[in-house]
Copies of this chain bind each other. A is one copy, B any other.
Amino acid sequence: MKKAIVLLSGGIDSATTLYWAKTKGYKCFCLTFDYGQRHKREIKSARAIARKVACPLFVFKINLPWKGSTLFRNSGKISFPKSLAEIKKRIPSTYVPSRNTIFLSIALSYAESIRAQAIFIGANAIDFSGYPDCRPNYYTAFKKIARLGTKCGVEGNPISILVPLLKKTKAQIIKLGKKLGVPFELTWSCYAGRNKPCGKCDACSLRKKGFIEAGITDACGCKT
């Protein structure tokens, strides 16, 4: 059975990606990161989702000791973009330098070590926070890294980097997730780092917009 690493943060996009990968016949190995994020709560969601589909989950702890993002727990008070329009104007302060490159590089190492054929990542570049490492040309470049920077790649068996949601809107992702049976009630999006979703941060705003546009009620208990 073909194997895949699935980057599972615990949000709607990564959960839908996991369910998608399973429909494609992959034996999935989930990978999540404890990287000092405020919303460490998402790891609990990742665990619950992985358990739901009986896939192993690896929680990779990585300490990024430098500043550079308001998303880090140690970075003091956080202020979120006031509107979705503001997100579109500039990259928000919640951007974590090189985050997806770090996550993908570790996933690549894991994939090669267990001889997985693919890495799935739930990035999308439509209803997103504007992060550079969520855009299509970035993934085109990382596919080259997977081909040129690994033993299996230069031997002719590169690990595929699959980004199935890249060009979907949040509403389309939610509709797809519903069709695939994704347990939205287990997912977590909020960045604020509290026990309940704040309803105001980029992640909450995008989630709210997505559910409204999809015409589906969000069962997460989110204030939105």
Contacts and interface: CB of A to CB of B under 8 A. Distances in A.
Interface of A: 58, 61-68, 91, 95-102, 104-106, 108-110, 112-114, 132-133, 135, 137-138, 141-142, 144-145, 148-151, 153-154
- Chain A facing B: main interface SS: helix
B132 A141 contact: no
Contact of A112 (B63, B68, B112): B68
A38 to B, nearest CB: 17
A98 B102 contact: no
- Total copies of this chain within the assembly: 2
B141 A109 contact: no
A101 B151 contact: no
Nearest to A64: B109
Contacts of A102: 102, 105-106, 109
Contact of A141 (B95, B99, B100, B144): B144
A126 B209 CA distance: 54
Given A66-B113, A145-B142, A98 B150 contact: yes
A110 B97 CA distance: 8
B138 A148 contact: yes
Contact of A97 (B64, B145, B150): B150
